[in-house]
Structure 1
Amino acid sequence: MIFIPLPFVVALLLLILFVVVLKRDDEDEPNRPFLALILLAALQSVLSGLRWGYGLQAIGLVAPVIAATVPPLAYAGVSRLVRTSRRPLPVRMALHAVPAAVILLLMAFWRDAIDIALVLIFIGYAMAILLLMRPGADALRLAPFEGAVPAYRAIIFTAAALCLSAAVDTFVFLDLTSAHSERALTLISIGNLAVLVILGIAAAAASRSRAPAEMVDVAPRPETSEDKQTIAAVDALMEGRKLYRDANLNLDRLARKAGIPARQISAAINRVMDKNVSQYVNDYRIGEACRLLAGTEKPVTEVMFEVGFQTKSNFNREFRRVTEMTPIAWRQRRA
């Protein structure tokens, strides 16, 4: 059957993804929870293949406990991108070990409640991740502006994958209690593999931003004179010192240069300009890129690096957002 080798193929792909991410993070502090999440997804895929492909039912004794560690790892990885916890590391580890401990207790005393508990764990952590990301890409305060938006999207995909896993477990639970159980095996194999792939890819993408950050809370209130003064001070830094050319510029560094709290900068730009700080900075970068493309013969790649971008995909995406065309097309039209 094609089902038998498929989980092992997925596990191999996840291991390759792990190696790629590990090499990419070689020069920086890696996001260890996300790396562990990729490895755990590979392990789950192998266990799924052994259990449903080769009939090793004993694996069912450890699979729920391993599954219960997935949401805490995802949350821990996101927390490193969003804020610095004030709790000591041992306390945080103990808190995130509670779901696995609960599943162990249920396996000993109340096995019928394991599926329901797993659904609640996955949904609870998904909601917690979405709550952390409520301010949008500006929540990633120490992430470089260039990678903040892709990391934000990857984190949202992570939360969606947790919800998908909860939905699959719920359907399987209902199917198994209906006395038919005809669709359970197919749904478990397809649904779980899809969730593992999504989690692995999302964790790899989100791990591009590795520094811890503090959540930025933007209150929905009208703009004030303080907002305009804040933006004027940041504009002066952008126009006078060309701060946007710094490829590693982030909200925390911008706040230090301006002498203004990061929360205040984010709130002002969101309220007055209806955009996040990443878009605000990239607007300056694209503006200078347009001037260089029109007034010089520099190659597009050289212009990209000069204005503060590091990857062509991000440069092209932001250029399209601002000008609605590619850099080459814009230069040809100006010529």
Structure 2
Amino acid sequence: MIFVPLPYVVALLLAILLIQMVRRSDGNKPNLFFAALIAVYALQSLVIGTRWGYDIVALLPVQAILAAIIPALAWLSFEGLRDGRSPRNRPLLLLHALPALMILAFVAFWPMPISLALIVIFLGYGSALTWLAWLGPNALGSSRLDGVGNAYRALQITAFAILGSGFIDVIISLDFAETGGTHSGGIVAIGNVLALLILGTSATVAGTSQPASEDDGSGNEIPSPVPSAEDARIAASLDELMQTRSLHRDVDLNLNRLARKMGLSTRQVSGAVNRVKAMSVSQYVNDFRVKEACRLLANTDDPITRIIFDAGF
């Protein structure tokens, strides 16, 4: 019977996920960091399966270097949704290569601290992702409004996965210290399966198209305190902007774009919409799209597919 390590199956499923993501981009460039994250994780699964499935110890340095790349790519994938800047306009981008370079240096000259360094890297990036998630869905201002809720849930899941990987590294290090690594193979296998479940859940959430009807994408009901006069002014200005310029027709519309057009911060815009309209910005824009679709259905003979796109869906 041919033995196929479980991580090989993980790698295959991740490769399928990557292909589907590229195919769904509809001619637009996919999130390059997220695509790279899936590719590196698939490669890491192959390395893990070969190392622990066939006991090839020589692959440990490769496994360590790839492990250092994963959390940095996870952070870059979601951090880019905050301001929408392209990689070339992010001057600190190269700093995120330092963890992998540090592990590479340890592999070459001083292997002893590698485990501790990986733990620090995973817990550090996991904490950063948790902080980004704590800011709420509006922190992902460059995410398309029709997908910000799903992007936020995927961020929460990814933060949990990266932090969990750090804690698994701690358990493996303790196992090596106490038993010489007797249980490490099983721990790695279980950790890989859990990672598959987490990433699969994240992919399912990201692919869900149903919008939330009573929350802001974070699972919490929208706060609706008494709006101020400033909130009413911002909401009225936004109404006028949406009606005169038909911004809802832009399928890539996001909170950052709306705020820039109004000369306000994203917090001011989202807060005013939440308090005056008692809904999230994505729901607010979606209402315009629904009304536009109804108008086109009633007054034109255009096919439904064209109406969907013309309304901004």
| Identity, % of aligned positions | 44
Does the C-alpha gap of structure 1 residues 247 and 98 become closer, same or farther in structure 2, counting only changes over 3 Å? Answer: closer
**1:248 Cα deviation from its structure 2 partner:** 3.3
Aligned residues: 297
The worse-fitting range, judged by mean Cα deviation, of 90-99 and 72-81 is 90-99
Does the C-alpha gap of structure 1 residues 204 and 72 become closer, same or farther in structure 2, counting only changes over 3 Å? Answer: farther
Question: Contact between 2:293 and 2:308, CA under 8 Å: does it hold in 1?
Answer: yes
Q: Tell me the alpha carbon deviations over residues 165-209 of structure 1, each in whole angstroms, 9 at most, x when there is no partner.
A: 11211122222222274432211112024325644774797699x
- Aligned match of 2:142: 142
Q: Specify the SS of the correspondent of 2:141.
A: coil
Q: Specify the SS of the correspondent of 2:179.
A: coil
**1:102 Cα deviation from its structure 2 partner:** 2.3
Question: Contact between 1:227 and 1:268, CA under 8 Å: does it hold in 2?
Answer: yes
- Aligned match of 1:116: 116
How far apart, CA to CA, are the structure 2 residues paired with 1:10 and 1:33? 20
- Aligned match of 2:21: 21
Q: Tell me the alpha carbon deviations over residues 136-185 of structure 1, each in whole angstroms, 9 at most, x when there is no partner.
A: 22223232211111111112211111011112111222222222744322
How far apart, CA to CA, are the structure 1 residues paired with 2:73 and 2:144? 23
1:247 to 239, 248, 251: 251
How far apart, CA to CA, are the structure 2 residues paired with 1:64 and 1:141? 34
- Aligned match of 1:215: none
- Aligned match of 1:50: 50
Q: Specify the SS of the correspondent of 1:163.
A: helix
Is 1:236 aligned to 2:279, yes or no? no
How far apart, CA to CA, are the structure 2 residues paired with 1:281 and 1:234? 10
- Aligned match of 1:168: 168
How far apart, CA to CA, are the structure 2 residues paired with 1:22 and 1:87? 19
How far apart, CA to CA, are the structure 1 residues paired with 2:276 and 2:310? 28
How far apart, CA to CA, are the structure 1 residues paired with 2:91 and 2:244? 46
Does the C-alpha gap of structure 1 residues 143 and 162 become closer, same or farther in structure 2, counting only changes over 3 Å? Answer: same
How far apart, CA to CA, are the structure 1 residues paired with 2:251 and 2:86? 29
Question: Contact between 1:41 and 1:199, CA under 8 Å: does it hold in 2?
Answer: no
**1:292 Cα deviation from its structure 2 partner:** 9.8
- Aligned match of 1:187: 187
Q: Tell me the alpha carbon deviations over residues 89-115 of structure 1, each in whole angstroms, 9 at most, x when there is no partner.
A: 695343111111222333355534322
Question: Contact between 2:106 and 2:113, CA under 8 Å: does it hold in 1?
Answer: yes
How far apart, CA to CA, are the structure 1 residues paired with 2:204 and 2:82? 16
How far apart, CA to CA, are the structure 1 residues paired with 2:95 and 2:309? 43
Look up the equivalent residue of 1:279 and give its one-letter code: Q
How far apart, CA to CA, are the structure 2 residues paired with 1:103 and 1:189? 23
- Aligned match of 2:280: 276
Question: Contact between 2:7 and 2:192, CA under 8 Å: does it hold in 1?
Answer: no
RMSD of aligned Cα (Å) = 3.9
Does the C-alpha gap of structure 1 residues 75 and 144 become closer, same or farther in structure 2, counting only changes over 3 Å? Answer: same
Q: Specify the SS of the correspondent of 1:249.
A: coil
How far apart, CA to CA, are the structure 1 residues paired with 2:70 and 2:3? 23
Question: Contact between 1:33 and 1:74, CA under 8 Å: does it hold in 2?
Answer: yes
Is 1:152 aligned to 2:129, yes or no? no
Q: What are the residue-to-residue correspondences of 1:1-335 with 2, within 5 Å?
A: 4-25=4-25, 27-84=27-84, 91-108=91-108, 110-179=110-179, 181-195=181-195, 198-199=198-199, 202=202, 224-238=228-242, 243-255=247-259, 257-258=261-262, 260-270=264-274, 272=276, 275-285=279-289, 308-309=312-313
Q: Specify the SS of the correspondent of 2:251.
A: coil
Question: Which one scores higher on RCO, CA 8 angstroms, separation ≥ 6?
Answer: 1
Give the gaps of 5 or more residues in structure 2: 209-224
**1:116 Cα deviation from its structure 2 partner:** 2.1
Question: Contact between 1:41 and 1:196, CA under 8 Å: does it hold in 2?
Answer: no
**1:81 Cα deviation from its structure 2 partner:** 1.4
What TM-score, normalized by structure 1, do the two folds share? 0.72
Give the gaps of 5 or more residues in structure 1: 209-220, 310-335
Question: Contact between 1:81 and 1:142, CA under 8 Å: does it hold in 2?
Answer: yes
